[in-house]
A and B are shown apart, each in its own frame.
Chain A
Amino acid sequence: MTDDLIARLATDLKPVRPDALPRLIMGAVLVSAVVAAIAMLMWLGTRADMATAPGTMMFWTKFGYTLALAVLGGVATLALARPDGSIRWPWLAAPVLLALLLVGAILQLANAAPDEVMPLVIGGTSLVCPWRIVVLALPVLLALLLAMRRLAPANPTLAGLAAGLFAGGTGAWIYSFACGEHGMMFVALFYTLGITIVAGLGALLGRLLLRW
């Protein structure tokens, strides 16, 4: 019986590229990120001052913070998608990033005039920002989880959390091109909230979908 199985598996053998796993994961994220970017353009459009925004520090703060979280999630996902994979430093680096952003936010608030404080913290879009990030991250998260169903995470929940951070960071990065907020504290609070929701969703779905 087992011999039959072995014979069947041997005839089914196809060559596997050495970089098959990263190609699968990065391919899924790339395609779904393009979908999310198109959705962002059609739904929200880029921020009104897109032409001049790249000259401001805040544009690059949002750009850098979200992209860095996505990269951390990506590194963790690539490691945790393997049965013998384990990695810890991205989980430690993510809070450090947030702490750095908070330090910058406090400095920004300390130098701000009293009537600028609330706009820098709450802004004008705090109620919708986290949800827009979740919506833009959803295609990325679903594509990632679907691709990872072919892989073998030792811990499905943790691998789902990593995928959620990857997708949340990517979704927030795409959203940052549509978001005209300029408070560091706003980013630290509401971007982080959106990304955290996606990460939690990833853990939840990973637990269900990534069993093997």
Chain B
Amino acid sequence: MQTDPTETRLRGLMLASLDGDAAAYRTLLAELGRHLRPYFARRLTPAFATHAEDLVQETLLAIHTRRMTYDRSRPFTAWLHAVAHHKFVDHVRRQSIRLTVPLEDDAPIFAHDDHADAAARRDLGVVLESVPPRTSDLIRRTRLDGATVAEAAAAHGMTETAAKVSIHRGLKALTARFSGGNK
């Protein structure tokens, strides 16, 4: 370890950085970035090679915020490797969860989040405002509040058929407007 020139140089830069030398720190981080990029690229499967840059940045950030945990009496490259390894394992773990659990299976966890429910209701209110008020009220009564078409029609003094047509047109208009770029 003591004869390794990389270790000696990087450790010297790190010790200067810990004492507040910003120029040494900039040099150190730039060099670490150059070391870390191929380190992560080699370990990532080709499909995720683009994540290498994210990992480099995450690791540099961790080096910065957790530099207190470097013990000056120990080799710097060992500490650096431990940080980079941790970031890599963490990344793979998160990635594998994302790859193996379909989004639909995740949904129930979020379905009962009160905060999200409130936000969804607010969004819905905004969306419903884009159709005529009577139509939006019919949709709200039948699709959200659980009323029957007959009840909703009676509330507006219209026939059941007219209410059905109105709801159908309203939903169609909303679908056309908010279905995104699929059309």
Residues of A within 8 A of B (CB): 1-3, 5-7, 9-16, 18, 20-21, 24, 81-84, 150-152, 154, 211-212
Contact = CB atoms under 8 A, between A and B. Distances in A.
- Which bracket fits the contact residues of B? 20 to 34
A83 to B, nearest CB: 4
A2 B26 CA distance: 12
A92 B63 CA distance: 32
In the A-B complex, the 9 residue pairs with the closest CB atoms: A15-B20, A83-B82, A84-B82, A152-B66, A10-B26, A6-B29, A20-B68, A9-B64, A82-B69
Interface of B: 17-20, 22, 25-26, 29-30, 33, 53, 56-57, 60-62, 64-72, 74, 78-79, 81-83, 86, 90
A7 B27 CA distance: 10
Contacts of A6: 26, 29-30, 33, 60
Contacts of A1: 53, 57
Nearest to A155: B86
B180 to A, nearest CB: 29
**Interface SS majority for chain A:** loop
Contacts of B82: 82-84, 154
11 contacts: A9-B29, A13-B22, A15-B19, A24-B68, A82-B69, A82-B71, A150-B68, A152-B83, A152-B86, A154-B82, A212-B66
Which among A81, A82, A211 has the highest number of chain B CB atoms within 10 Å? A82
A3 B165 CA distance: 60
Given A9-B64, A150-B65, 5 more contacts: A13-B17, A84-B81, A150-B68, A154-B82, A154-B86
A2 to B, nearest CB: 5
A96 B78 CA distance: 32
B60 A9 contact: yes
B29 A10 contact: yes
A82 to B, nearest CB: 5
B26 A7 contact: yes
A18 B74 CA distance: 12
A5 B61 contact: yes
Given A83-B79, A84-B79, A10 B56 contact: no
Given A82-B79, A83-B82, A84-B79, A11 B69 contact: no
Contacts of B67: 16
A2 B33 contact: yes
Given A83-B83, A83-B86, A16 B61 contact: no
